[in-house]
Chain A
């Protein structure tokens, strides 16, 4: 009985160890298979006064393309050259700083699933500029993409930002050649926000610019295209 019990215990322990190792190996394999994209660090730009306070000022330059022939996917477009993409996905900026984001928008669009995301939310002054003109919202039936950034409240990160970008006209001529891509004259959107406390914040586009169900498949459901992180710290 003693040896039987001992063998049973060893067998049970071995099963747990082997099972755990197998699960860990799968987890590490999946994690390492995820695309490794370079981090776009915000560039220092002096100081800026926001709500009466002088803050360090940084800039980030992004773009949204109708294909993946630009940006972090390389000149060949990577695995899905026909997928819509942001130029960069992993962003980084210091905490408690004002970051001015400039986005060159090259893509078409339409009406988002929820027109709420045509509003500018959480930026300095509650505004953004579109081709130099300050606005608080864009035409809800002509949204190209959005930059929607959020924290995780349970981590003490109550933070929400939404910057919508107008869509290009589908009849706009392609006048800009970048690498293998040819695009219309970009719509330039700028907005400034104050970075929250240290942490990793998640952002994504809220316009259904992907495939399948409600336009949230494909590029919308794959890291590194229309979603990413902002690492503050």
Chain B
């Protein structure tokens, strides 16, 4: 540690930091490719596919930046740590005034931010575009501590949500009391249910099965039990189910 900085020392340190950056970046990219889909719920709608690919893309795009931060941080903690009470060695030469480094940093950051912004706006636009072509609307009402669903044009209201596979559905979400969070876990749908306001979102279920619907806003005593089931069935099964339901008051 009591060495003087020489061009050779700097070169070695840069080489080691670059190596650490490369390793961490590759690890981040692998996390984006393999770990993110494993961590996320199994997708059951076009929205969830979009959410997962967005998470992967953002993770991969962030990997080089995070890699640099972690590489410098870990290297500094490991190599430039000065134990004891004696005087530490002199610091290395500052990067201030290095136009090349500043330029690369600014341009890279700007490009990354622009890419993420454009991607995010495009993903939001794609997500919202479904509402116009929706074949089915469901009125969703949250209240302490139950969800209920009404199918407009019918007299059917249920505490369990049924949806047809492959049909775009629009949810008109509201609340009767406090703020709730309408969250269909495997479909990537999560919007607030606000009292007195209707919030619209849409998706297209693309997988048959049973999925989870939870409240995502802490809403009182039985918030943890404000859960129900979403059944995605074939369009024919959906029509059969719909016509078998009793009318509600």
Contacts and interface: CB of A to CB of B under 8 A. Distances in A.
Interface of A: 1, 4, 113-119, 121, 126, 136-137, 140, 148, 150, 152-154, 158, 160, 162, 202, 204, 206, 208, 213-214, 216, 220-223, 227
Q: Is the interface of B mostly helix, strand, loop or mixed?
A: loop
Given A1-B83, A118-B249, A216 B160 contact: no
B2 to A, nearest CB: 15
Given A153-B229, A204-B145, A119 B176 contact: no
Given A206-B143, A222-B221, A154 B176 contact: no
8 contacts: A1-B84, A114-B176, A119-B157, A121-B159, A126-B246, A162-B159, A213-B177, A221-B220
A137 B229 contact: no
A41 to B, nearest CB: 23
B141 interface: yes
Q: Is the interface of A mostly helix, strand, loop or mixed?
A: mixed
Interface string B150-166: 10000001011000000
B225 interface: yes
Contact of B176 (A140, A150, A214): A214
B53 interface: no
B212 interface: yes
A213 B83 contact: no
Contacts of A206: 143, 146
B225 A115 contact: no
B210 interface: yes
Q: Of residues A116, A213, A220, A221, which shows the largest number of chain B Cβ atoms within 10 Å of its Cβ? A: A116
Contact of A214 (B83, B160, B177, B212): B177
A154 B213 CA distance: 9
Interface in B135-182: 141, 143-146, 148, 150, 157, 159-160, 176-178
Interface magnitude class on chain B: 20 to 34
B149 to A, nearest CB: 9
Nearest to B229: A153
Contact of A223 (B141, B150, B157, B221): B221
A158 B176 contact: no
A116 B157 CA distance: 7
Given A153-B210, A227-B221, A148 B146 contact: yes
B222 interface: yes
B228 A114 contact: no
A160 B83 contact: no
Nearest to B159: A160
Contacts of A119: 157, 248-249
A113 B159 contact: no
B178 A116 contact: no
Interface string B206-249: 00001010000000111001011100000000000000001011
B83 A4 contact: yes
Contacts of A152: 225, 227
A222 B221 CA distance: 7
Contacts of B146: 117, 148, 150, 206
B228 A160 contact: yes
Given A158-B160, A202-B225, A204-B222, A214 B248 contact: no
A116 B84 contact: no
Contacts of A213: 177-178
